[in-house]
Chain A
Amino acid sequence: MKTITKLATAAVLGTTLGTAAVAQELYVPNLAYRTGPFAATGIPLMNGQADYFTMLNERDGGIGGLTVNAEECETGYSTEKGVECYEKTKGKAIVTQPWSTGITLQVLPKTNVDEIPILAPGYGFSPMADGTVFQWAFNMPAGYWDAASMIVQYLEEEGSLEGKKVAFLHLDHPYGKEPLPLLETLSENKGFELLPIPVGLKEMQNQSAQWLQIRRERPDYVVMWGWGAMNAGAITEAVKTKFPMENFIGVWWAGHDADLRLVGEDGKGYKSISWSFPNLEAPVMQDIREHVIDAGLSNTNPEESSGVFYSRGIVISAILAEGIRTAQEEYGTAEIDAAQLRWGLENINMTEERITELGLDGMVPPFSTSCANHTGHSGGWMLEWDGEQFVKVSDLMNANTDTYQDLISAKATEYADENAPWPTNEECSATN
């Protein structure tokens, strides 16, 4: 009997939750991770995301008059929990934010059937850029292939890469492998030698073997696709092995202030490509300080809130809010549904003017999306650690998207074929 009652209560609980009445609010759940081995990088992002929506609610009373409910569902970066959270929230959610490449890969096919937009800003699956195939998936403002392309561009500015050796230090996980296809193509075209060095999930904190390899191979540059505890480990090892920091470049997820603060001055010169920048003078930062932090509604602390990741969280929420606003204007209703939000996300036009209007000056590069282009390819800035904080050391850079447009469509089609029948967007006539 015990079995049955238990299962029955569980089932009942599940049903009631699944069919709860839609409240008068915009429900944008976030599959956050504030626990587990990746929490260190998750927390500032989640705080930034939450604080922006709190600020909108406090300052403007939400978006279009409706309050935003940015409830978090804790995943601990585990795919299992992620799927649980997705199922739990999808009933009334108008968007899902999976926050890990693993969860994204699992939720991606489901969203196509459930018809919920999946917002994976700056992560996820690079071919998601092809909006005609991945109708419901968005990873604006830039994808991993954009990052790889910009990093290679930056390296080229320092001199031809012909005959050089570039080590690619990455997490041995779908996330870390994501830019490999593009880097391989680029290495053929530009004539540099690519040396992939994987770091296992269990080796994140103990990378001496990888850095010994780097010492033996003597690469000219090290490009890092790291996450969580791996970044801190890599940066401390780099300092230990006396690898010249100015030749060490990370993706945007490998540019967390706290990781660099571990080594302080020794980390000077470390670079990270980024599509967001913590401009503490930007009006939106002031508003958040006034309406959220000073009002005691935030979990953040002063050190964290001046960092790159916190401000990136703000930018992510701002992009989502912009998508919601676009959809509200188009459909003339504040209470938009998932399909309407998809239209909104497909028609974001973040011009310089709009960025200033939103008070995000200098925090995000301009970009725009279309039904065919779900990434926006905003480009980004090269940030450098000056011993205390990250500073911009380049003008706005743009990825050479032309060089891998074919790769995007090819991989997208491949995915659609493998998952046939996979409905694509036939109506979309725009090209990238």
Chain B
Amino acid sequence: MLYDFLIQPFVDMATAPDFFLQVLWEGLVSGVLYALIALGFVLIFRSSRIFNFAQGIMVVFAALTLVGLHAMGVPAWIAVALTLAVMFVLAVTIERVVLRPLVGQPDIILFMATIGITLFLIGLGETIFGGENKVMISEELGIPTGDTVLEPWGGLLILQHLDITVVVVATLLVAGLLAFLNYTQMGRAIRALGDDHQAALSVGISLQTIWVLVWFIAGIIALVTGIAWGARAGVSFALEVIAYKALPVLMLGGLESITGAIVGGLMIGMLEKLFEIYWGQPFLGGNTETWFAFVLALIVLLFRPQGLFGERIIERV
């Protein structure tokens, strides 16, 4: 029994390395997407201490808007531009209507407000677009569809071109974002706000502008994530649940850390897949992916209460 649980899975990995690689690859792709959603969370949390639960529904909302606009006859790339405009309007509205009146409230109140936003957007999205499952306009956006079959060690490794594109685009997006945060004035303002609110305000950084900006960036990330997930599994409100997957990523990586979101996302994506395939399915009846990431993050937190890359929590009386 102990052998089965502790040794056998590794033997399986070694004897079918092609399958092992496939599992890792699948994990990597989901991990990249988890990391993207987590990144949206982190940006907003850093600059405003808001734990933005609405990130998940923003993904759905962005994808629905894109598909909906295209269905109305708008050419694909113009629809993308218009969707970005919609996300910008959304960011401004949220800042004006919800965040500004709630400045200075306890964290939990702001968190609740984002759940309120989530419900509102679900209702709005269903009213406008209806609840049907929609097909992402992958072709029109030039997303490749085929696959590449590799045969390492005489085995089989299937790489979807879509997945490769997702990984590449996500990497570019993250690189662009990091460049933006590090080398532009706006980006540095966001980081300054994350480091010290008071100090940032006192050197003349506008809180309102930055908030709109981070929500808009979160909107862009949501759109990219929405296109990627939508191309994989269709666009519907069921996508919303993937937001939960970003939460353990945040715990593991640390709520403030951009590096943490990326590393945490990739780690969780791959580890949960490995655990499910080699331990979950044979011994625990499967579906361990629902909780594995949370339990893993919980264990890490017991040793590092601020996550792997989070800021040290210093408390003074």
Chain A residues with a Cβ under 8 A of chain B:
34-37, 39-43, 172, 197-206, 208-210, 212-213, 215-216, 228-229, 232-233, 236, 240-242, 258-259, 261-262
A198 and B286 within 8 A (CB): yes
Residues of B in contact with A, size category: 35 or more
What residues on A are CB-neighbors of B26 within 8 Å? Answer: 208-209, 212
Query: Does residue B111 face the partner (Cβ distance < 8 Å to A)?
Result: no
Q: Are B19 and A40 in contact (CB under 8 A)?
A: no
Given the known inter-chain contacts A37-B238, A208-B26, A209-B276, please indicate yes or no for A240 contacting B286, CB distance below 8 A: no
Task: Identify the interface centre among B30, B133, B237: most chain A CB within 10 Å of its CB.
Answer: B133
Question: Hey, which chain A residues are within 8 Å of B135, CB to CB?
Answer: 261-262
What is the distance, in angstroms, from B144's C-beta to the closest C-beta of chain A?
13
Interface membership of B277, Cβ < 8 A:
yes
A200, A240, A262: the one contacting B234 at CB < 8 Å is A262
> Which B residue sits closest to A33, measured CB to CB?
B131
B75 at the interface (CB under 8 A from A): no
Interface readout for B217-237 with A: 1 if CB under 8 Å, 0 if not? 000000000000100111011
Contact, CB under 8 Å: B236 / A37: yes
User: In whole angstroms, how far apart are the Cα atoms of A336 and B241 in the complex?
Assistant: 45
Chain B residues near A (Cβ < 8 Å) = 16, 19, 22-23, 26, 29-30, 126, 130-133, 135, 147, 158, 160, 229, 232-234, 236-242, 244, 273, 276-277, 280-281, 285-287, 289-290
Q: Are A212 and B22 in contact (CB under 8 A)?
A: yes
Q: Among the interface residues A197, A209, A210, A216, which one has the most CB atoms of the partner chain B within 10 A? A: A209
12 new A-B contacts, CB < 8 A, other than A39-B126, A39-B132, A233-B234, are A34-B131, A40-B131, A41-B133, A43-B131, A202-B241, A204-B238, A206-B242, A209-B276, A210-B286, A216-B277, A229-B234, A240-B147
Q: Which chain A residue lies CB-closest to B233? A: A205
Chain B residues with CB under 8 A of A199: 287
Taking the closest CB of chain A, its distance from the CB of B136, in whole angstroms, is 9
Chain B residue at smallest Cβ distance from A205? B233
Contact residue among A40, A197, A202, A209 (Cβ-Cβ distance under 8 Å from B244) = A202
Q: Considering the chains assembled together, what is the distance between the CA atoms of A201 and B240 in angstroms?
A: 12
- Closest-by-CB residue of A relative to B131 is A39
By a CB distance below 8 angstroms, the chain B residues around A210 are: 286
B132 near A43: Cβ-Cβ < 8 Å: yes
Q: Do A232 and B234 touch (CB < 8 A)?
A: yes
- B237 CB contacts on chain A under 8 angstroms: 35-37, 39
- Whether B287 pairs with A215 at a CB distance below 8 angstroms is no
Shortest C-beta distance, A206 to chain B (Å), equals: 6
- CB-CB under 8 A from B281, the residues of chain A are 209, 213
Question: Can you spell out 25 A-B residue pairs with CB atoms less than 8 angstroms apart?
Answer: A34-B130, A35-B126, A35-B237, A36-B131, A37-B241, A42-B131, A198-B286, A199-B287, A200-B287, A200-B290, A203-B287, A203-B290, A206-B232, A209-B273, A209-B276, A209-B281, A210-B286, A212-B22, A213-B277, A216-B277, A228-B238, A229-B236, A232-B233, A232-B236, A262-B135
B273: contacting residue among A202, A208, A216, A241, CB under 8 A = A208
Instruction: For the complex, give the distance between the alpha carbons of A165 and B285 in Å.
Output: 18
Give every chain A residue within 8 A of B229 (Cβ-Cβ): 205
**Residues of chain A lying within 8 A (CB to CB) of residue B133:** 40-41, 229, 232, 258-259
Q: Is the CB of A208 within 8 A of B30?
A: yes
Q: With the chains together, A229 CA to B132 CA distance in Å? A: 10
When distances are taken between beta carbons in the complex, the residues of chain A under 8 Å from B285 are: 198
A308 CB to closest chain B CB, in angstroms? Answer: 15
Q: Which of A43, A172, A229 contacts B238 (CB 8 A)?
A: A229
